[in-house]
Amino acid sequence: MRPILVCALMLVIVGSIFFVRGQEDQQEMKGASQTSDAKSTSDQIEVKTDRFSGVTTVKLKPLVILDKPDQQMTIDIETKLGEKVRFESEKEEVKAESWFRSQATHLVDFGDQELHFLIDEKPLDIGRAMGSLDVGVDKSKLKPGFRSSQSFVSIFSRSDLERFRNARRIDMRLGSIDLTFSQSEVAILREYANQVLAQHKIARERKQ
């Protein structure tokens, strides 16, 4: 019976070692994934404060939100905080200038150009995005085989950014274009909104 007990004990020990190693590997993979996500988010967002004017600019670098063989669309946002205002009430305002840029192999019909979002299945209607065909675009800056470029701009308010800051899922429609943001894109937009709102608070306190 002794050899059998020894073998059984050895099997238990070996199994425990493999289990512990498996757990450690999973933790390492999870940690590496979180580090990668944090790095990609920080690389996408730029915060700069002008030391003379005290104005802080928070930029979202062009983020690809649609990538198809015949069309690509990006979003980039710029928000200036701490600028001089005429009225006290304007200190509470946030105006995030948001650009949606499309390039494609053909001229895309954006329909009514109305910009809509679903934030966690709840509607957020921004209104009509202003824009048109980029007539003077440098063709060398387009993807190979792409011929047209169109740009649209809209403004996100403070309340809009508060919605984005807490978003878990984001769906968007711009005219005829309907898409769902990936989880990494949602995380970046969420962090951008968080950065703007945090910097807005700092800018208000600085002006007091």
The residues spanned by each domain of the chain are 43-207
What's the mean pLDDT in 122-145?
93
Residue 54 falls in which region: left (phi positive, over 0), alpha (psi -120 to 50) or beta: left
Report phi then psi at 7, rounded to 5: -60, -40
List, for residues 59-74, the tens digit of each pLDDT value: 999 999 999 999 999 9
List, for residues 165-200, the tens digit of each pLDDT value: 999 999 999 999 999 999 999 999 999 999 999 999
What's the mean pLDDT in 196-208?
85
Query: Does the domain at residues 43-207 carry the CATH identifier 2.60.40?
Result: yes
Q: Which helix (H) or strand (E) holds 160?
A: helix 158-165
Distance of CA 106 to the CA centre of its chain: 26
